[in-house]
Amino acid sequence: MSSPGRTWWGSRFLEALESFTDSARLQRGRSYSGPSRILAFAITDGMVTATVLGNVNPYFGVYTEPEYQTRIQMTPLKKSDWTRVIARIGSRADLVARLLMNEMPDDIETVFADVGTGTGKNAGKRPEQGRGLLPRNRQDFKLTDCSCPDYANPCKHIAGVYYRLARQLDHDPFLLFELRGINREQLRAALKKTPLGHALDGLNDAVAPEPVITDRYFPEPETTIAAAADYQTFWQGTKRLPRELPAMLPAEIPAILIRKGGDYPAFWDKNSSFIELMEELYLRVRQKNKNAL
């Protein structure tokens, strides 16, 4: 199984946990992040729920492997904050394009500047540090709960779910938005309402052809009178071809279909970048066959 935190946002997520969690307890929880321990895992309306298989512990009176119910919920942003963030994202084509390709922009946190800082009428009523998309401190988690008898929070079961969540974030960065209070569909719908988002969305709209009603599965071909064949025009053409063809320009965004799948797609369980590997593969193919082209 691949290790969590392979992307920069997944790594930042784990770094935030290490800043306010006992490192030894967090490392113990890493062994609880695999499928043999996490029996069920789901994210619904920003709430992370998991069923974690515990260990036998006679000290706590546990003599059979128990199943503990774990819940994690990040502190959601207010609707007014999301309105401000959506307007900032919708005003930048680079952010919209990267998000549509299932990639998290490197500077996504810039649009969350002063969110939750208590500016204007709410000045002084909220923390000065504010809140971003990624967690920064313990206050960014609204709920961390486990049914185990361990008094510490987070316990090793919650820590295991943290690592599982970081692995999910590597595959789907849009989960960060859902954990903060807005899911993928709501984000796309809000971006479409911005002028730039509306323009970009119009480029992807394909008009479906109207169905043609027919009384049979295989219509009879229409009979037409064929004109006399002009073999000379067929072989020589009506226009002479240029002697020199212009050089082919490289694509503005290479491997765009691969990039849309993200740097770490769900089927990719390696720690190396899938996009970088495919770029190297395409480069070797071009170099090997450049004389044949």
pLDDT(50) > 90: yes
The C-alpha atoms of residue 169 and residue 21 are separated, in whole angstroms, by 20
The C-alpha atoms of residue 84 and residue 113 are separated, in whole angstroms, by 10
pLDDT(290) > 90: no
pLDDT(149) > 70: yes
Tens-place pLDDT, residues 255-269: 677 777 777 787 887
* Residue with the larger pLDDT of the pair 123 and 190: 190
pLDDT at residue number 203: 53
**How large is the average pLDDT for residues 212-230?**
71
pLDDT at residue number 51: 95
Q: How far is CA 30 from CA 42, 52, 71, 154, in A?
A: 18, 12, 17, 12
pLDDT(40) > 90: yes
pLDDT at residue number 130: 62
Contacts of residue 52, defined as CB under 8 A and 6 or more positions apart, other chains included, come to 32, 37, 38, 39, 67, 68, 70, 146, 157, 160, 161
Q: How many CB atoms lie within 10 A of CB 175?
A: 19
Tens-place pLDDT, residues 104-135: 888 888 888 777 655 444 444 443 456 788 88
pLDDT(241) > 80: no
pLDDT(163) > 50: yes
Whole-angstrom distance between the N-terminal and C-terminal Cα of the chain? 41
Closest to 270 in 3D by CA, of 10, 3, 35 = 3
Confidence of residue 1 (pLDDT cuts 50, 70, 90): low
**How large is the average pLDDT for residues 27-44?**
88
**How large is the average pLDDT for residues 274-282?**
84
SS3 124: coil
**How large is the average pLDDT for residues 261-290?**
80
pLDDT(70) > 90: yes
Confidence of residue 202 (pLDDT cuts 50, 70, 90): low
